Amino acid sequence: MLDKTINLSIPVKESILFSLKESTEEFSRELVYLSALMLYKRRKLSLGKAAELAGYNKIDFIFKLKTEGEAVFDYDDDEIDEIVNASKQLP
C-alpha cells in the first residue's frame, strides 16, 4: 500500500505572500486545502481522500466546505437514483 508521505517544492515569490498577507505556513495550508477541494470537485479524489489531503477528518472537511458555501454532495439525477435504489436493498 502506498502511504509514504512525499514533500513537494513549489516556487512562490515573496511578493505573492506579502500581497496575501500570509505566512509561508498559512499559504501552504491554504494551497493544499484548495487543491484538495478542486480535486474533489473534479471528482479526481473522493471526499475522504480530499479530506485526508487537506489534513482534515471527513466530518471536519464537510463542515469546512459547508462554511465556505461549497456543495458537499453534488450528484446528478442518475447518481441520486442509483444511491436511493442501492439504499433500498440494504437490510
pLDDT in tens, 32-47: 999 999 999 998 999 8
pLDDT score of 52: 96
Give, in order, the Cα–Cα distances in Å from 69 to each of 11, 15, 44, 73, 91. Answer: 30, 29, 20, 12, 34
- Higher-confidence residue of 71 and 61: namely 61
Burial class (CB in 10 A: 0-12, 13-18, 19+), 44: exposed
pLDDT score of 1: 60
**Owner of C-alpha cell 487543491:** 35
pLDDT of 28 higher than 90: yes
